[in-house]
Chain A
């Protein structure tokens, strides 16, 4: 459904990627490897020849495009001082029958409804963006570190939302290896702008692979991936 062939720029090098219908993907890689850059190419913010359902993304009308792909950045970016959480969510209500009030309930954001987005804490902003992704309801949603800034309880809530049937296809960029492991999607590992690993979750999370990619900083203990500080 999504196909990027031999894409290169300052950071990414001759990168090709295919995502089939209903397939979801985890993208891993160290800081500065080009993960977010890739996300911006995939969603069209950075122009490229990427194909969605065998047609170049730039040939779609803006409305059709919103149906196909959405991207949730790592940080909520908002210029206006007073745009409220509720207004922000309503801007995102595109291809869903769900009401934004349901989203507020689901993620326990009701009390903050009328608060300006700029005054929310970074964790609250993270949840706001997740809610906006559900309301947008695109075929493919790309998440850039969806569990950064969250306390353990909320991380778990977000994990269950990500794992649920609320989304169709997902591409999740993360540093949270335990999340990557537990969610079980195919894994793509990017290093210095190149894909160095692309296979199933089981293939990736083996003792030897973990050792190759993360050295001694990561350990698999029983059924958990632990960061060894």
Chain B
């Protein structure tokens, strides 16, 4: 059953680029003179790649945050990283740096990580709860700043910001997907490098400490890595919420294994979920795409509630 699910998911991911408002014939993608060639390599494939790797980063990031904070509600969004990124993008739009939107988004996330990191060093002991509270406070602060930017912006700028916050995996050109692929590989390899430590941290910080984990160091490294990967992600796609919260929970409920054994499945199904959501978003509307964030919430919300209700 589980293998069948993987098989079907992979088939769907492979077929995804060929479906859309303009269908692509498979035999045309190697013919550089055809429209299909351009459409496939310049538009559809980058989209699928971004959707897949963004979904993977958000889901694995969610899993790691939940494990580090020992809180099933926490995701990179909880610490204000995504909001920081959104603020950076809004700043770029309002103050005329429109062509550097992604860069500003990334620095928004980076700036947030630096604030959190400095505060972590100032905290007496490594209290994850205080950091969570700081993150929430920071997100409120950012939202207020975002309101100011809205207030200062004209109509078209407002629309641009709102559209960004709805999320989109619309990226043109395969070369532009490179940052998110690199971020994914970085996050995945580091998570596997710290697999044993993560497993110990799944019990309690004290237990991990007694078994020889440098809790503060490992927590900090993983926190910063996840935040940076999410920063790359959000600057490209906008804040696509919810994925990081639901995918880890769904897979834990299905597989019933400890979280560190589920890192790859969670990355994979997170990616699959966004590819599927994007496929629906592209094919549902008449002439334009529906923002992907709407689809993820509509699909994920009810299914998530169903799983929670079914849980013993």
Using Cβ atoms and an 8 Å threshold, which residues of chain B touch A84? 258
- How far does the Cβ of A141 sit from chain B's closest Cβ, in whole Å? 10
Q: Identify which of residues 242-267 in chain B touch chain A, using a CB-to-CB cut-off of 8 Å.
A: 252, 255-259
Using Cβ atoms and an 8 Å threshold, which residues of chain B touch A77? 203-204, 206-207
Partner of A82, one of B125, B203, B256: B256
Using Cβ atoms and an 8 Å threshold, which residues of chain A touch B214? 62
B282 at the A/B interface (Cβ < 8 Å)?
Answer: no
CB <8 Å contact, B212 and A82: no
- How far does the Cβ of B193 sit from chain A's closest Cβ, in whole Å? 16
Given contact pairs A84-B258, A87-B258, A79 touches B202 in the complex (Cβ within 8 A): yes
CA distance A44 to B206 in the complex (A): 10
> Which of A40, A47, A70, A79 has its CB near the most chain B CB atoms (within 10 A)?
A79
CA distance A65 to B214 in the complex (A): 11
Q: List the A residue with the shortest CB-CB distance to B68.
A: A79
A4 at the A/B interface (Cβ < 8 Å)?
Answer: no
CA distance A14 to B252 in the complex (A): 48
CA distance A213 to B227 in the complex (A): 55
A80 at the A/B interface (Cβ < 8 Å)?
Answer: yes
- How far does the Cβ of B139 sit from chain A's closest Cβ, in whole Å? 23
B7 at the A/B interface (Cβ < 8 Å)?
Answer: no
Using Cβ atoms and an 8 Å threshold, which residues of chain B touch A19? none
Using Cβ atoms and an 8 Å threshold, which residues of chain A touch B70? 79
CA distance A178 to B89 in the complex (A): 68
A88 at the A/B interface (Cβ < 8 Å)?
Answer: yes
CB <8 Å contact, A83 and B258: yes
B200 at the A/B interface (Cβ < 8 Å)?
Answer: yes
Q: What bracket does the count of chain A residues touching chain B fall in? A: 20 to 34
Provide the B219-258 mask, 1 if CB < 8 A to any CB of A, else 0. Answer: 0000000000000000000000000000000001001111
Q: List the A residue with the shortest CB-CB distance to B69.
A: A79
Using Cβ atoms and an 8 Å threshold, which residues of chain B touch A65? 212
Using Cβ atoms and an 8 Å threshold, which residues of chain B touch A80? 67, 202-203, 258-259
CB <8 Å contact, A88 and B206: no
Tally of B interface residues using CB under 8 Å: 22
Provide the A128-151 mask, 1 if CB < 8 A to any CB of B, else 0. Answer: 000000001000000000000000
Give chain B's interface secondary structure class: loop
CB <8 Å contact, A66 and B258: no
B209 at the A/B interface (Cβ < 8 Å)?
Answer: yes
A97 at the A/B interface (Cβ < 8 Å)?
Answer: no
A166 at the A/B interface (Cβ < 8 Å)?
Answer: no
Q: List the A residue with the shortest CB-CB distance to B203.
A: A78
CB <8 Å contact, B259 and A91: no
CB <8 Å contact, A66 and B204: no
Q: List the B residue with the shortest CB-CB distance to A92.
A: B211
Given contact pairs A82-B252, A82-B256, A87-B258, A66 touches B211 in the complex (Cβ within 8 A): yes
Using Cβ atoms and an 8 Å threshold, which residues of chain B touch A185? none
CB <8 Å contact, A91 and B252: no
Using Cβ atoms and an 8 Å threshold, which residues of chain A touch B256? 82, 116
B213 at the A/B interface (Cβ < 8 Å)?
Answer: yes
Q: List the A residue with the shortest CB-CB distance to B262.
A: A82
A158 at the A/B interface (Cβ < 8 Å)?
Answer: no
- How far does the Cβ of A211 sit from chain B's closest Cβ, in whole Å? 37
CB <8 Å contact, B211 and A136: yes
Using Cβ atoms and an 8 Å threshold, which residues of chain A touch B125? 47
A221 at the A/B interface (Cβ < 8 Å)?
Answer: no
Q: List the B residue with the shortest CB-CB distance to A70.
A: B210
CA distance A62 to B212 in the complex (A): 5
Partner of A91, one of B67, B203, B206, B257: B203
> Can you give 24 A-B contacts (C-beta < 8 A)?
A43-B210, A66-B210, A69-B210, A71-B206, A71-B210, A73-B206, A78-B202, A79-B67, A79-B70, A79-B203, A79-B204, A80-B67, A80-B203, A80-B258, A82-B252, A82-B256, A83-B202, A87-B199, A91-B200, A91-B203, A92-B211, A94-B211, A94-B212, A116-B256
- Contacts beyond the supplied A65-B212, A82-B258, A94-B212: 12 A-B pairs with Cβ under 8 Å: A62-B212, A66-B210, A66-B212, A78-B203, A80-B258, A81-B252, A82-B252, A83-B199, A87-B258, A88-B203, A91-B199, A92-B211
Instruction: Rank and list the top 6 A-B pairs by shortest CB-CB distance, nearest first.
Output: A80-B202, A77-B204, A83-B258, A62-B212, A66-B212, A79-B70
Instruction: List residues of B whose CB falls within 8 A of some A CB.
Output: 67, 70, 125, 199-200, 202-204, 206-207, 209-214, 252, 255-259
